[in-house]
Amino acid sequence: MRELDETDLEILQLLVADARRPYNEIADAVNLSPPTVSDRIDRLRDLGVVKRFTVDLDRSLLSDGVAVLVDLHVEPGRVSEVRNGVEGIDGVEHLFVTADGNVIFHARLRDGAVEPLLTDAIDIDAVREYDVKLLEDSAWHPEPRGVEFALECDECGNSVTSEGESSHIDGELYQFCCSSCQSQFEERYEDLKEAA
């Protein structure tokens, strides 16, 4: 089965810029028929590339809260616990987990009191220290602009083009840049399974 190709990427770019564009307009732009565009978008959703259709809101117009960026220095081994707790805090818009184990989140809070929220949502002992920065401005750039659009080959890491392959293995979808990577991966996977 063919995975993502250039046309899919063009469709994505058009949707990111304006998700209400009618299919016939997209179809014109990518030289396909509207039903085909529809099929492709369905597939992009199935693949998980399109997570959702949504609206980009100007939150400063909606909320009278204070936007903050909170940086939690988490005790080793408790990152995912803290991460999950933070996700449940009201007003949290973005959440980042750094490779060295910090959990950073962007939230809009009714008052500046971060501490009670934290003690409420997580075991505060899991946090060595934290740092709160008031935000003046924030922006979201959904445009994929110059970003290289490429699925990574799960075997060699190269980008996956329209010549690539994919396999469903044990309910997971894996992407490959070529059939040799695919078979190599499947072999290794089998070996791993046997070893277990």
Give 42: exposed, middle or buried? Use CB within 10 Å, 0-12, 13-18, 19+: exposed
Q: Are 152 and 145 in contact (CB under 8 A)?
A: no
Residue with smaller CB distance to a copy of itself, 64 or 194:
64
Q: Does 149 bind DNA (CB under 7 A)?
A: no
Q: Is 1 in the site for a copy of itself (CB under 8 A)?
A: no
Pairing of strands 159-160, 151-152: antiparallel
Q: Which letter does DSSP use for residue 91 in this model?
A: T
**Which of 65, 75, 124, 183 lies at the binding interface for a copy of itself (CB under 8 A)?**
65
Q: Which tokens belong to 145? A: 């602009």
Angle at 147 between CA 16 and CA 144, to 5 degrees: 10
Contact map string, positions 37 to 66, toward DNA, x by CB under 7 A:
-xxxx-------------------------
* 40 binding partner (options DNA, a copy of itself, none; Cβ < 5 to 8 Å by kind): DNA
Tokens of residue 194, six digits: 């046997």
Report helix, strand or coil for 167.
strand
Q: Which range touches DNA (CB under 7 A), out of 33-41, 68-76, 109-117, 133-141? A: 33-41
Residues within the interface to DNA (CB under 7 A): 1-2, 7, 22-25, 27, 31-36, 38-41
Residues that bind a copy of itself (CB under 8 A): 4, 9, 12, 15-20, 47-59, 61-65, 69, 83, 87, 90-100, 102, 104, 106, 108, 110, 133-142, 144-152, 157, 159
